[in-house]
Amino acid sequence: MKTSLQILLVAGARPNFMKIVPLFRTAKTVDSLSCKIVHTGQHYDYEMSQAFFDDLELPKPDFFLDAGSGSHAVQTGKIMTAFEEVVQVEQPDWVVVVGDVNSTLACSIVAKKEQIKVAHVEAGLRSRDMAMPEEINRMVTDTLSDLFFVTEQSGVDNLLQEGKPEKAIHLVGHVMIDNLFFQLEQLKTNNVQAMSTHALKQQHPAYGFMTLHRPSNVDAERVFRGIAEALNSIAEDLTLFFPVHPRTRKMMDRFKIKFSDNIICLDPLGFRESLYLWKDARVVLTDSGGLQEETTGLGIPCVTIRENTERPITIEMGSNVLAGTSTQGIVDAFHQSMEQKLDGRIPPLWDGRAAERIWQILQQWI
């Protein structure tokens, strides 16, 4: 006989790990919850998965599905097949999925076909760009979910417009910010002098931080060259630290794209060492959804190298400038970001307690 709610908490790709860690940490303090981690293996490279579990102090997953690489269809199919076996054995009360990656979609489909309730953390975000695989994942996952945990008001509005029941929609804040605040506290007690980037940071008291990995930005040579030209121009004014994603490194080599000497290319970094750099940056240039939110949480100027964003709250708060992907657009957005006066506004409920709210609501949902 079950004495507590049985939860499967799904993580598949790098952004998921940052979102599940506060959920798992909080669940351990609640007697009425039994939470197991399912790692789908969507990010199969050690640097992009296991290293993150270590860095974020997550335990070894209870289940590792080893999905690996492949097209969207192949990867989704592998995850569904493996996760079905887990669900049939475990028979959880809830499957909790986070974000918008293929694992989110795949595990939601399996759970619903097995008559298991699905809770979607970071529900309701929309870019309106159906060329983005993540947008398809978000929309289908929200079609299947029973509970919607939302980070910002736009998510609530989107879900209501799509006909989701109001009683199932909960604005709870953002677990990504929970993790961010926790990691900031950890940095205070860490020996940062031992970090591989400590000397670099001391050598460059004023710097920017950049990430670039989205397929639409790096897989097309013309787009990638235009972005690189903009970043090289910006680097004439400000040194940039650039931890290079494996996908981006591969495309740099393929297209023979060269970055300025003032763009210091680094190996991929763990979350904490990445945070150690960008938290003190003059500006962050990125195509990452998570960094848009994290910089907003700390009030750091951000330039988003994309044509759209499903996170409009970051622009409303004034910390994020949407640049597009043209060379001139990125350079102009950089200068706008440098001149913009930030007033320290933080979105409602981005206070580090989203995971607590999520578990409280889920326990009440019978």
Q: How far apart are CA 54 and CA 60, in angstroms?
A: 9
- Residue 270 sits at the vertex; the CA angle it makes with 187 and 79, to the nearest 5 degrees, is 130
Is 8 in contact with 337 (CB distance < 8 Å)?
no
Q: Of residues 39, 213, 245, 335, which has the active-site annotation?
A: 213
Q: Where would I find the beta strands (DSSP E) of 151-199?
A: 169-171
Is 172 in contact with 358 (CB distance < 8 Å)?
yes
Helix, strand or coil, per DSSP, at residue 220: coil
> For residue 79, which of 45, 49, 110, 47 has the smallest C-alpha distance?
110
CB-side exposure of 187: number of CA atoms within 13 Å?
19
Distances (CA, A) of 248 to 197, 217, 267, 286: 20, 9, 11, 13
Q: Which residue has the tokens 């750091």?
A: 300
Helix, strand or coil, per DSSP, at residue 236: coil
Q: How far apart are CA 266 and CA 281, in angstroms?
A: 16
Distances (CA, A) of 62 to 29, 38, 83: 18, 6, 12
Residue 214 has φ and ψ, to the nearest 5°, of -65, 130
Q: Which residues pair with 217 in a beta bridge?
A: none
Helices (runs of H) and strands (runs of E) counted in the chain: 16, 13
Q: Is 174 one of the catalytic residues?
A: no
> DSSP string covering 82-111, please?
HHHHHHHHH--SEEEEESSSHHHHHHHHHH
Looking at this protein, which amino acid is placed at residue 266?
L
Q: How far apart are CA 252 and CA 213, in angstroms?
A: 11
> For residue 302, which of 278, 326, 325 has the smallest C-alpha distance?
278
Active centre residues (catalytic): 213
